[in-house]
């Protein structure tokens, strides 16, 4: 028998695992004891930065995200460090002007990031180009991402076309990112095979799946059989539910097949045991979803979003309407041209579905949904509903656009820099300017209290001073960079002759 | 594209799912509302009786197991009802004389069982023949079972030989039973393929796996690709951990492949929602194991047994020795000739491992382990350690045997019948005699209080009279039919100059 093919693995424990399972609350100090084993276990990369972690660090943990990154780099010098970058949105929720994109990427690389996974919620290639170009300039690994979803318009051929465009923009490798666990085994096989055929076997294909629907470890097996080079998993004690498939199970799954990982089982066991002790400290932040949810194949709403919707409907005394809302989501998604549902499109579509059920379809429209309909987040794969576009136009008093959204932005770096430098506690670095650029209000508070040091919100840390205003909601809070800091959005809506406060928390 | 091949499914919710996840405590009344959907969803069979449910009914729930079966038959007339039968042990923990085996099978068939899955913990064909023959006489479906395990002596060829023997004894189909989630994808493929090749494609192969190690849904995919006809799953709200893979995930997994189930997703959703409401009522009985445990590949100790061992060691102030115990298990198993670890061999080997760690290797030996070494449970696949056999001989003052264990038993039906009929509350039926035969002491108590009616031990049933003596331990309690009723076994052992009470609860 010939040597098995090596399957590379990206470990997610330091970023997506705790973002998905415990609202991104894990403190750096609770990760440090596992770093040596993580660095030596044989992973292709360690995802440890970006996504919601940047926001969570400054909003909830009083941690400097750049300092966290430098700590990781110091403790894990042997394994590439990876981040998730939201294309033109960077680690925020709005489009940033190109100069900010360039500087953010440059500083992330300087502070320790080796692999940049770059995605856009709408798969609009125009939202990805600048970030990929910026990564290329740093000499680091640029990974172009397909946000995976299903619809009558999403086809293997369409995803392959996107991948070819990503390669033309300089992507070193391609990632299939399946944030809602929608990637079934046969489609996984077909898509990976088609990518390998179109791009050439030498172009690495990485596969990122969540575990929520229970089928995606099988999808990883099929992706590997189709030629995938690297798959993403999380150590077992921080896996499953809305999180990911267990790293150790992946290793065992390949036993006897023509594939094998290079992972060190003894180190995996130690990593597992460490996080098994850490996890209960964050019980209050743990996801309600612990089992498998196959209804997601219909609603496509990621697990974390469903539980948020449920609690918000409950506040309105409308808990019994969750099924109507979940049934409404596919309608809203169709009207919006079938966007993949991932931050921020998942929140935007989900919130509009709540409004449609509570108030009547499009009787009330959020500003974000109007922007989505009018092209301010980019282009959708399918035509958007013209009547709903017209309603959005009336509601928002903005014209529809067809250009790249960031083309409307004026250079903003100098202004951001001047504002940041004027703040108490700003340390004068470009990193601090970038922190301010991402979340101006949160950063302003953070700079003022940074000297207090990290505030671990884990249970046994009760004695430490915990930020009073840290709400117990998901970390991926909305900060539009202009209005007040909002981890929840509250709307006053009239329904049945009474005014209701509708509060929507982004997932 | 040609029509997909139909993959049949056996739903486990009514038997193994709650046995594995909530110590077999679910009351019939909590199952009844789901029965119509279960019956109409398109399952090949519904596993609903046998295993530990018989014991649990009379020991903890004050339910007549025969009445439970008749209720199921009345409510689910369209789908074959399936039971798990421990070969010559029936639903008890000792070997029964052949006449008792014949009568038990006959009455189970009369009361509603259509499919008998017959297994032996040691894969000793001599412990399976009589039960299979008895099933054949009833005209019902006789399924011969391979208790799956791994060892230097267990090979695909060996399992195939066992399957051929099972066919010769009259088995209509073959089941691969993987109670500890040890069956990895490639071995699953290889074994199913070899069985199909050896037995002919027309002989049905069923695959039963648990989910504990996280890899076995992939194993089901590979088994299906190799030609498996039917796989076992449990509805998602009662799945995973030491339980099974989710039924809905199996359905979705096959989407787009050359395979499909016939299951009705709308009914599955209703079944899921029903048991999602029931599960929290039994929180106090829920397994501690909720995630994935890949260390089982080394220790082979099923999930439920590990948590029992942990709590018992804790009682002895030796909680820190669990790793030593888990490391000792493979040694004990090797000495015993590599038995699969399943009731009762898992308890016997696990308990001896605890003793070896606490007292020194084989300084103390349980009577059950001595019996295992001396052949009283049947033959092992590998030679047993001769020195340990000698120790067992001295300890138990019994000679080693090589005959079929049940050959040593004298006809016992008439005696059992006379004893049962003399009991207060015995209703004079053969079913009652069989209940008495299985668990004499427990049955005696049960007959006396049967008129009180079922006692639901679920949480919201707090107002109902609950049996005071029902210990909160796993239901698969040991009753040897002679000694006092024991759901826990307590040993006095001297260790470090002090006497310890070592209590061992069977899983």
ipTM for the whole complex: 0.89
Rounded-to-10 torsion of CA A88, A93, A95, A98: -50
| B224 at A interface, C-beta within 8 A | no
Q: If we measure between CA atoms, which residue out of A27, A150, A163 comes closest to residue A458?
A: A27
CA end-to-end span of chain B = 48
| Alpha-carbon separation of residue B222 from A85, A129, A222, A244, B228 (angstroms) | 36, 40, 10, 21, 9
Given A237, A252, A269, which is nearest B213 (Cβ)?
A252
pLDDT digits (tens, 9 = 90+) for B97-121: 999 999 999 999 999 999 999 999 9
In B, minimum Cα distance to A187 occurs at B256
Give the whole-angstrom CA distance, residue B489 versus residue B477: 9
B186 chain-A contacts, CB cut-off 8 A = 255-257
- In the numeric block, the tokens 């089901």 are attached to B220
Q: Return the biggest CA–CA distance within chain A.
A: 75
pLDDT digits (tens, 9 = 90+) for B269-291: 999 999 999 999 999 888 777 78
Given B184, B217, B252, which is nearest A217 (Cβ)?
B217
Give the whole-angstrom CA distance, residue A28 versus residue A15: 11
Q: Are A231 and A211 in contact (CB under 8 A)?
A: no
Residue contact A236–B214, C-beta within 8 A: yes
Token pair recorded at residue A402: 């067809």
| Alpha-carbon separation of residue A287 from A20, A187, B352 (angstroms) | 8, 28, 40
| B233 at A interface, C-beta within 8 A | no
Instruction: Tally C-beta pairs within 8 A across A and B.
Output: 109
Give A 377-396 residues with CB within 8 A of chain B: none
Answer whether residue B504 shows pLDDT above 50.
no
Give A216→chain B minimum CA distance, Å.
Answer: 8
pLDDT score recorded for residue B304:
61
| A372 at B interface, C-beta within 8 A | no
A17 secondary structure, DSSP code: I
Give the whole-angstrom CA distance, residue B245 versus residue B220: 9
pLDDT score recorded for residue B499:
45
Give the whole-angstrom CA distance, residue A373 versus residue A360: 18
| A215 at B interface, C-beta within 8 A | yes
Give B 286-315 residues with CB within 8 A of chain A: 290-295, 297
A190 chain-B contacts, CB cut-off 8 A = 256
Contacts for B266 with CB less than 8 Å, ≥ 6 apart: none
pLDDT score recorded for residue A342:
87
**In terms of residues, how long is chain B?**
507
User: Which residue, among A7, A191, A218, would best test binding to B if mutated, counting the most B CBs under 10 Å from its CB?
Assistant: A218
Token pair recorded at residue B136: 């054949």
| B226 at A interface, C-beta within 8 A | no
- DSSP per-residue letters across B147-198: E---STT--HHHHHHHHHHHHHTT-SEEEEEETTS---HHHHHHHHHHHHHH
Answer whether residue B446 shows pLDDT above 60.
yes
| A187 at B interface, C-beta within 8 A | yes
pLDDT score recorded for residue A202:
96
Write down the H helix ranges in A169-302. 185-199, 216-225, 247-253, 265-278, 296-299
pLDDT score recorded for residue B235:
98
A215 chain-B contacts, CB cut-off 8 A = 217, 249, 252-253
B249 chain-A contacts, CB cut-off 8 A = 213-215, 292, 294
A293 chain-B contacts, CB cut-off 8 A = 236
Give the whole-angstrom CA distance, residue B245 versus residue B248: 9
Give the whole-angstrom CA distance, residue B373 versus residue A396: 81
pLDDT score recorded for residue B313:
83
pLDDT score recorded for residue A303:
61
Rounded-to-10 torsion of CA B406, B407, B410, B416: 20
pLDDT digits (tens, 9 = 90+) for B134-187: 999 999 999 999 999 999 999 999 999 999 999 999 999 999 999 999 999 999
pLDDT score recorded for residue B315:
79
- Write out chain A's pLDDT in tens, 507 residues: 579 999 999 999 999 999 999 989 999 999 999 999 999 999 999 999 999 999 999 999 999 999 999 999 999 999 999 999 999 999 998 999 999 999 999 999 999 999 999 999 999 999 999 999 999 999 999 999 999 999 999 999 999 999 999 999 999 999 999 999 999 999 999 999 999 999 999 999 999 999 999 999 999 999 999 999 999 999 999 999 999 999 999 999 999 999 999 999 999 999 999 999 999 999 988 877 778 889 888 878 766 677 667 777 888 888 889 889 989 999 999 999 999 998 889 889 998 999 999 999 999 999 999 999 999 999 999 999 999 999 999 999 999 999 999 999 999 999 999 999 999 999 999 999 999 999 999 999 999 999 999 999 997 654 434 444 433 333 333 333 332 233 334 444 433 344 444 443 333
Bridge partners, residue A46, by sequence: A11, A81
Burial class (CB in 10 A: 0-12, 13-18, 19+), A442: buried
Give the whole-angstrom CA distance, residue A112 versus residue A395: 44
Q: If we measure between CA atoms, which residue out of A225, A93, A198, A14 comes closest to residue A507?
A: A93
H or E stretch including B9?
Answer: strand B8-11
pLDDT score recorded for residue A311:
72
Q: Mean pLDDT across the stretch B19-37?
A: 96
Give the whole-angstrom CA distance, residue B271 versus residue B79: 15
pLDDT score recorded for residue A363:
94
Give the whole-angstrom CA distance, residue A481 versus residue B62: 64
Answer whether residue B503 shows pLDDT above 80.
no
pLDDT score recorded for residue A494:
38
Q: What is the mean pLDDT of chain B?
A: 90
Token pair recorded at residue B355: 């003793």
Rounded-to-10 torsion of CA B123, B124, B125, B130: -110
What letters, b where the CB count within 10 A reaches 16 and e where it falls short, cover A238-247? bbbbbbbbbb
Given A186, A221, A290, which is nearest B218 (Cβ)?
A221
pLDDT score recorded for residue B116:
98
Residue contact A240–B237, C-beta within 8 A: no
| A253 at B interface, C-beta within 8 A | yes
Q: Are A188 and A196 in contact (CB under 8 A)?
A: no
């Amino acid at each position: 028998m010939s040597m098995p093919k090596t399957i590379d693995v990206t470990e997610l424990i330091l970023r997506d695992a705790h973002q998905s399972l415990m609202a991104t609350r894990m403190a750096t100090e609770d990760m440090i004891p596992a770093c040596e084993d993580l660095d030596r276990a044989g992973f292709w990369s360690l995802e440890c930065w970006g996504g919601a972690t940047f926001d969570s660090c400054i909003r909830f943990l009083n941690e400097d995200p750049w300092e966290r990154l430098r700590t990781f780099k110091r403790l894990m010098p042997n394994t590439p460090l990876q981040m998730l970058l939201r294309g033109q949105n960077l680690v925020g929720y709005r489009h940033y002007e190109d100069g900010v994109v360039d500087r953010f990427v440059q500083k992330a690389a300087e502070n320790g990031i080796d692999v940049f996974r770059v995605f856009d919620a709408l798969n609009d290639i125009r939202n990805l180009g600048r970030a990929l170009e910026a990564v290329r300039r740093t000499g680091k690994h640029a990974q172009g991402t397909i946000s995976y979803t299903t619809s009558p318009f999403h086809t293997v051929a369409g995803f392959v076309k996107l991948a070819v465009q990503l390669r033309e923009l300089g992507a070193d490798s391609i990632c299939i990112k399946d944030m809602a666990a929608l990637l079934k085994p046969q489609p996984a096989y077909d898509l990976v095979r088609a990518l390998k055929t179109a791009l050439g076997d030498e172009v690495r294909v990485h596969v990122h799946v969540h575990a929520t629907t229970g089928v995606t470890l099988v999808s990883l097996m099929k992706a590997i059989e189709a030629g995938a080079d690297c798959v993403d998993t999380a150590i077992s004690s921080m896996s499953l539910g809305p999180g990911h498939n267990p790293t150790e199970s992946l290793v065992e799954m390949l036993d006897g097949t023509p594939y094998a990982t290079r992972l060190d089982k003894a180190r995996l066991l130690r990593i597992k045991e460490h996080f098994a002790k850490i996890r209960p400290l964050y019980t209050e932040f743990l996801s309600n979803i612990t089992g498998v949810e196959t209804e997601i194949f219909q609603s496509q709403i990621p697990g974390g979003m469903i539980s948020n919707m449920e609690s918000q409907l409950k506040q309105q005394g409308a808990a019994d309407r969750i099924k109507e809302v979940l049934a409404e989501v596919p309608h809203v998604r169709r009207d919006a041209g079938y966007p993949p549902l991932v931050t921020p499109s998942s929140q935007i579509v989900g919130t509009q579905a709540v409004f449609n059920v509570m108030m009547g379809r499009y009787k009330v429209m959020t500003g974000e949904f109007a922007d989505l309909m009018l092209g301010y987040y980019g282009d959708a794969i399918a035509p958007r509903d013209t009547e709903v576009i017209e309603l959005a136009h009336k509601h928002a008093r903005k014209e529809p656009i067809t250009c790249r959204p960031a083309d409307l932005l004026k250079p903003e770096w100098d202004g951001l820099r001047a504002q940041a430098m004027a703040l108490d506690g700003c340390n004068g670095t470009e990193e601090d300017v970038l922190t301010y650029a991402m979340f101006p209000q949160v950063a302003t508070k953070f700079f003022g209290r940074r000297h207090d040091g990290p505030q671990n919100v884990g249970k046994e840390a009760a004695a430490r001073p915990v930020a009073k205003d840290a709400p117990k909601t998901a970390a991926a809070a909305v900060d539009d960079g202009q209005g007040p800091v909002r981890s929840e959005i509250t709307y006053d809506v009239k329904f049945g002759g009474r005014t209701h406060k509708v509060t929507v928390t982004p997932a």
